[in-house]
Amino acid sequence: MTENVPVSNESSHPPAWRTALIRQNREHALIAASLVRWIILGSISGGLAGLSGWVFLTVLDHITDFRLEHDRMYFMLPIAGLILGGMYHYFGGRARGGSPLLIEQIHEPTEWVPRRMAPMILLGTWGSQLFGASVGREGTALQMSGSLTDAFARLIRLKTEDRRTLLIAALAGGFGAVFGVPVAGAVFALEVQSLGRVRYEAIVPALSASIVGDLIVRGLGYEHSIRVPLDPSIDTWLILKLLLAGAAFGLAGAAFIELTDRIKSVMARFVLFPPLRTFIGGLALMGLTAWVGHDYLGMSLGLIDRALAGDRLSFAVFALKILFTAISIGTLFPGGEVTPLFGIGATLGVALATPLNIDPALLAGLGFVAVFAGASNTPLACTILGIEIFGGGATVPFAVVCVMAFVFSGHRGIYSSQRVAVTKAGRRLLHRPSIHGWRAP
């Protein structure tokens, strides 16, 4: 009779250490595959952002030079406003949602970003800048990148969650390419959708898109402005002064948002035909320019250069730039807010330098990024932005003023679809309303 021999458990079941190793290898393989996939997708988005950004910036420089050489172009602002307003009213469709539409689709990706958004914002911003409306570049870059990237996502039939991630990469690519700040561009895209939440799940494609976008713009020969590095001596007294300056920068950002929203509200209530709102805005800008001069038209790069060089400017300068920009954005001239906010911050910094007894060039550089930090609720991105533009010698001052500006700017922002995940008092919200619908407790 044959004796039954027990089968060894070791032969039928591998040791625990081998099972763990197999599982770990599989996880690493999945991570590597996902990493490669998102680097490729992010790089494609960055390529679209870089190519469109290079075209936009190159032509914009020529347009700006032409306007500066022909200083009476501003007389055409009302007619230009009527044409641009009519273009968006009759042909814009959902593209009228602008940058907030992109953030809205990241929160709830229910509809494709309109393909017409890219050409319309490109032509619209060129038109605004040609005649001197006080608008910037970031809105154009974000919308072009978002529209082109979402068209690509539609082409390859990307799933909803993946499309959300790629839209974040598009924001990074647009911002990084247009300003030449790849790290700040990536962090901006991760930080901007919700106050109190950073979307780390999109960090790989965001960084890939921002780096590629910046490399393409530079590789095609576009040269960003080079700023003088800041390297102050830091002591307790300087930090205390910077706390006050940061609060002032935040209040300036809040004032800009409040005035812009008030102008939009009044126009929507009393002027029912949208193109007429832009016409009226053009009339107001034309009258103000005839009264106070040309310095506040367009992006006011001359004012920014003067401030960063340490020229003494009065408090009226930053206030007038707020007024020009609020009228331009509030009456729906196409473009962004960021470069004008750079100008508002730099000129306010120079004005504050005398009462605070701080080097005006230093405070101008800090204000350059801090007002935007408060207005966009992105203190981390703006701290990095300052380091990338002005060097790492002023890292601590940049962090101090950006955080203070963020705290003192309130819960509203320039992107109306930005949500509040955690209030600035540290209170977590479960329903996460949009910033413009939020009311302080």
Quick: pLDDT tens for 65-107.
999 999 899 999 999 999 999 999 999 999 999 999 999 999 9
> In the structure, what pLDDT confidence band is assigned to residue 400 with cuts at 50, 70 and 90?
very high
Q: Is the pLDDT at 411 greater than 90, yes or no? A: no
pTM of the predicted model, to two decimals? 0.92
Range name among 101-115, 249-263, 360-374 with the lowest pLDDT average: 101-115
The reply to whether domains 28-219 and 236-437 share a CATH topology is yes
Average pLDDT, the chain: 92
pLDDT digits (tens, 9 = 90+) for 111-159: 999 999 999 999 999 999 999 999 999 999 999 999 999 999 999 999 9
pLDDT of residue 136: 94
Q: Is the pLDDT at 23 greater than 90, yes or no? A: no
pLDDT of residue 170: 98
What is the rounded CA–CA span in Å between residue 420 and residue 435?
Answer: 6
Q: Work out the average pLDDT over 402-429.
A: 86
What is the rounded CA–CA span in Å between residue 400 and residue 419?
Answer: 24
What is the rounded CA–CA span in Å between residue 438 and residue 441?
Answer: 9
> In the structure, what pLDDT confidence band is assigned to residue 13 with cuts at 50, 70 and 90?
low
Q: Work out the average pLDDT over 314-323.
A: 97
pLDDT of residue 246: 98
Taking the alpha carbons of 121, 261, 252, 313 in that order, is the dihedral positive or negative? positive
28-219, what's its fold? Clc chloride channel (1.10.3080)
Q: Looking up tokens 């038109």, which residue turns up?
A: 127
User: Element (H or E) spanning 195, and its range?
Assistant: strand 194-195
Show the DSSP H helices in 295-337 as ranges: 301-308, 315-330
pLDDT of residue 420: 87
Class of domain 236-437: mainly alpha
Cα angle 222, 225, 230; round to 5? 145
pLDDT of residue 25: 74
Asked if 150 contacts 117 with a C-beta cutoff of 8 angstroms, the reply is no
The residues near 302 (Cβ < 8 Å, ≥ 6 apart) are 295
> In the structure, what pLDDT confidence band is assigned to residue 15 with cuts at 50, 70 and 90?
confident
> In the structure, what pLDDT confidence band is assigned to residue 380 with cuts at 50, 70 and 90?
very high
Q: What are 136's strand-pairing partners?
A: 336
Asked if 120 contacts 157 with a C-beta cutoff of 8 angstroms, the reply is no
Q: Work out the average pLDDT over 419-426.
A: 80
C-alpha distances in angstroms, 79 versus 143, 278, 300, 326? 25, 9, 22, 19
* 413 phi and psi angles, rounded to 5 deg: -155, 175
Q: Is the pLDDT at 6 greater than 80, yes or no? A: no
Going from N- to C-terminal start, the domains of the chain cover 28-219, 236-437
Q: Is the pLDDT at 186 greater than 70, yes or no? A: yes
Please count the other Cβ atoms lying within 10 Å of the Cβ belonging to residue 6. Answer: 5
Task: Indicate the SS3 state at residue 157.
Answer: coil
What is the rounded CA–CA span in Å between residue 26 and residue 3?
Answer: 41
pLDDT of residue 438: 46
Asked if 362 contacts 379 with a C-beta cutoff of 8 angstroms, the reply is no
Nearest to 297 by CA among 336, 319, 325, 316: 325
pLDDT of residue 325: 98
pLDDT digits (tens, 9 = 90+) for 26-42: 777 888 889 999 999 99
What is the rounded CA–CA span in Å between residue 140 and residue 397?
Answer: 30
Q: Work out the average pLDDT over 322-326.
A: 98
pLDDT of residue 26: 77
Nearest to 419 by CA among 375, 379, 377, 385: 377
Q: Is the pLDDT at 291 greater than 80, yes or no? A: yes
CA of residue 265 relative to chain centroid, distance: 23
